[in-house]
Structure 1
Amino acid sequence: KFGYTDDQIRPYTFSVAPFLADPKAIQQGYLTSEPFTIEQQGVKPVVLLLADAGYSSYGSLIQTSEKLVHEKPDLVQRFVDASIEGWYSYLYGDPAPGNALIKRDNPEMTDALLAYGIAKIKEYGIVDSGDAKRSGIGAMTDARWRDFFNTMASAGVYPKDLDFHKAYTLQFVDKKVGMRP
């Protein structure tokens, strides 16, 4: 679609050094991290989101077994609801408890990087935009899943006859959990 070829693919090393060394380089990265590191080196990166190029996938998902969904749907619902409430609390309440847990498991994280990450999540609407504005954080739609599948099937990633509906359920989302007026 964009004219790239497989010989242009490079492994993602989580290092911005090659990007900083070559002014013609492009680099994938996390909106909440790599631009911060690059800016600390005095370079203002141009940030392009894959979503803006028509890549409509969901960035993060909660995954579990079909067995747990069928045997303990109440447990799954509570976990999903708690995750959603946690995101609202982290983004619009006090992020300190979440930051403490993040820094405990990732000691290289700084308060400045975490604050930058929260600001970018809000600025770019990474968690709370689009369908989430209507149905709450964690919102998903059949239409968006279909669009993503059609894009991937057209690119040859998935067979066109794949039943992509088996990959997800809307049973636990779109309930406006945690939404504030």
Structure 2
Amino acid sequence: MNPVLLLRALTAGLLAAGISAEPVVAQTLDKVSFGTNWVAEGEHGGFFQALADGTYRKYGLDVTIVPGGPNDNNRIQLIAGKLDFSMSANTLQSFDAIANKVPVVEVAAMFQKDPQVFVTHPESNVTKLEDLKPLTLFVSKEGIPTYFQWLKSEYGFSEAKIKPYTFNSQPFIADKQSAMQGYVTSEPLAIEKTAKFKPGVILLADYGFNTYSTLIETRADLIDKNPDLVQRFVDASIIGWYHYLYGDNAPGNAMIKKLNPEMTDELLAYSVAKMKEYGIVDSGDTLRDGIGAMNDARVASFFDKMVRAGVVRSDIDYRKGYTLRFINKGVGLDLRPNSSAEKEPSR
């Protein structure tokens, strides 16, 4: 029997007999490695919180978080078997894995909304997505073959209006008739501090770009060999996100700042506030099914949009790229403020 499950059974028996379970603290922790897709930041906060506040340990896991970065590709490390889990940016990576016969599977979606935005100048009077069409658009080389193809197919945008975005905001600041891509959790604050004006924000997710984001990904063979470990990592990560958003997130932020000194308290607080304001993590299906939720209809809808946009092939079986087996269980609902849940659902 799995040692963690055995410990749980023994603990339950002790409690039923009226004996405190506190002395039963020694257990074999399963070592788990998790790679993020960028340097430590607030957008990864729930994972660091689960590590820093002991949630992973409570679930029988000894977790090592391996930050990504401009010269690191943790997804390749996952595929090579050097990591157990990695962070996938969005559902498109799942479709790409299927197309290229890479045996990885998405097991939870920490972001219900992709944080991709365009920021605008107040003078341009942009109030909706279509208002961006006459503007010069600063788009990254990764954005052109992905979300911008959706903008072309769904809204009739033109690549003639694109200029390269090199993660330098100065060209945007200098051109009042332009808009720049970014994340709702960071770029608007950076613009406000640098340019001394509050930019407008257009969140693509609010206009139908309905990909999931910041997903937990693992190898198919790990699911087959050790589904209990996958379940515990998913559950503990979900709890970590509730703690990070609604509890005392100081432990998680301290770990983020230690790994990435460029993260300030101001930016971390801003990221959390915007994740809440825009429902990036906790909205829609998560209100019923808990953070991490996914559903078949939404994945199918996004797949159809990407096929129409010419981003993915229509002949792939996209359903092989994700599973609902480990989510939609209502884990952590009682941790949301003003929750009506009486207790955390059983696993």
Tell me if both proteins adopt one fold, taking TM over 0.5 as the criterion: yes
Q: Give 1:80 shift.
A: 0.6
SS state at 1:48 partner: strand
Mapped partners of 1:16, 1:89: distance in 2: 33
**Residue 86 of structure 1, CA deviation:** 0.6
TM-score, scaled relative to structure 1: 0.95
Query: Residue 65 of structure 1 aligns with which residue?
Result: 219
Higher mean displacement: 14-23 or 2-11:
2-11
CA distance in structure 2 between the aligned counterparts of 1:176 and 1:140, rounded to whole angstroms: 12
Quick one: which amino acid aligns to residue 87 of structure 1? W
Give the number of the structure whose residues are more often strand, by fraction: 2
Residue deviations 1:114-162, cap 9 Å, x none? 1111110000010000011110000000011000001001111122222
Q: CA deviation at 1:10?
A: 4.1
Q: If the length of structure 2 is used for normalisation, what is the TM-score? A: 0.51
Name whichever structure is richer in helix by fraction: 1
Counterpart for residue 26 of structure 1? 179
SS at match of 1:174: coil
User: Are 1:116 and 2:270 matched, yes or no?
Assistant: yes
Trace 1:49-88 onto structure 2 (pairs within 5 A). Answer: 49-88=203-242
> Counterpart in 2 of 1:98?
252
1-structure distance, mates of 2:167, 2:213 = 18
**CA deviation after TM superposition for structure 1 residue 59, in Å:** 1.4
Percent identity, aligned pairs only, is 59
Which residue number in structure 1 is paired with residue 200 of structure 2?
A: 46
Post-superposition offset of 1:9? 4.0
What is the CA deviation profile of residues 12-53 of structure 1, one whole-angstrom value per residue up to 9, with x for unaligned ones?
A: 422222221111111111111100111113111111111112
Could you tell me how far apart the structure 1 residues matched to 2:308 and 2:258 are?
43
Q: Does 1:17 find its partner at 2:170? A: yes
Secondary structure at the aligned position of 2:201 is classed as coil
Q: Read off the aligned partner of 1:161 and give its amino acid letter.
A: D
Give yes or no for the alignment of 1:126 onto 2:280: yes
- Structure having the higher Rg: 2
Q: Which residue matches 1:135?
A: 289
Separation of aligned partners in 2, 1:150 and 1:20: 36
Does residue 331 of structure 2 align to residue 177 of structure 1?
Answer: yes
Worse-matched range after superposition: 117-126 or 8-17: 8-17
Q: Is 1:158 the equivalent of 2:299?
A: no
Summarize the Cα distance change of 1:10–1:61 in structure 2 as closer, same or farther, 3 Å threshold: farther
Unaligned 5+ segments in structure 1 are none
Tell me, in whole angstroms, the C-alpha distance in 1 between the residues paired with 2:196 and 2:229: 48
Whole-Å separation in 2 of the counterparts to 1:66 and 1:88: 27
Structure 2 spans left out of the alignment, 5+ residues: 1-153, 340-347
Question: Aligned pair in 2 of structure 1 residues 159, 135: CA closer, same or farther (>3 Å)?
Answer: same
Larger relative contact order (C-alpha < 8 A, sep ≥ 6)?
Answer: 2
